[in-house]
Structure 1
Amino acid sequence: MAYWLVKSEPATWSWDDQMSVESEHWDGVRNYQASNNLKAMRIGDQAFFYHSQKGKEIVGIVEVVKEYYPDPSDSSGRFGMVDFKAVRPLKTPVTLAAIKEHPELKEMPLVRQSRLSVMPVSDEHWALVCELGGTTA
């Protein structure tokens, strides 16, 4: 299983929105690196759900339930999406500031490539963020 982080602006799609549905597509990604990360996702992979803009915190964990397929909102046909289901909230949201305080997380893409909306997370970073969030890896 691989681990990821996906960002969403809570005013557009929040953790509460994700929790209220059985599963939901992750559409609108128009960055090639982020799109390639979506293409690499497999059913069963898990991702941190990160509130960007307002909050700047990891609030939950989602799981891939449908692999990459065309995004109908992309008229060029170049980009796609995956479907996620909510797995569980973090007991304690993990803020970007808290992540930056931990030297072990300084190489995390969230810190190094802050504008990327879909990114991989290493096993070690996953375990530490889960610990900070009060949940099991």
Structure 2
Amino acid sequence: MPNEPIGPRLRALRQASGRTVASVAADAGLSVPYIANLENGRGNPTTGALDRLATALGTELSISFTSGTPEVAAAVPPNVVKLSRSKRFRATVGALANQSGQDEQEVAARLITACAHLALALGDPSEHDWWRLLDAALLMAEHPAH
């Protein structure tokens, strides 16, 4: 995230996964005030703390030094946050996790990230567009092409 404050990204990931600061703090072994300060743009986290936060949020910390134009990480738009809080999204995550044998939190984090990238590519998908995309993901998981 070149020159991008990390606080809003942490908050968006946490909110999109439907987690509280306290639950993330417990999973990451960090204090609630520490995470709240980071989300509010205060503090200077170590890579170790960021790695523990990433793990607690079901994602991975990635640090790279690149030449040229670095890839910009997708922020989680409000419509994706709203989508991720729906019963249908949680049911889709459960089905995908069951199908793949992966942890539901990890699947949710990856699906949220994918939806954030899709929102950038597609503009502002409607709620029905999101349902169609989730249905397509389920169909692909249940009936892979050979």
> TM-score, with normalisation over the residues of structure 1?
0.27
Greater relative contact order, per chain length (Cα 8 Å cut-off, separation 6+): 1
Larger Cα Rg: Structure 1 or Structure 2? Answer: 2
Q: Relative to total residues, which structure has the larger helix share, 1 or 2? A: 2
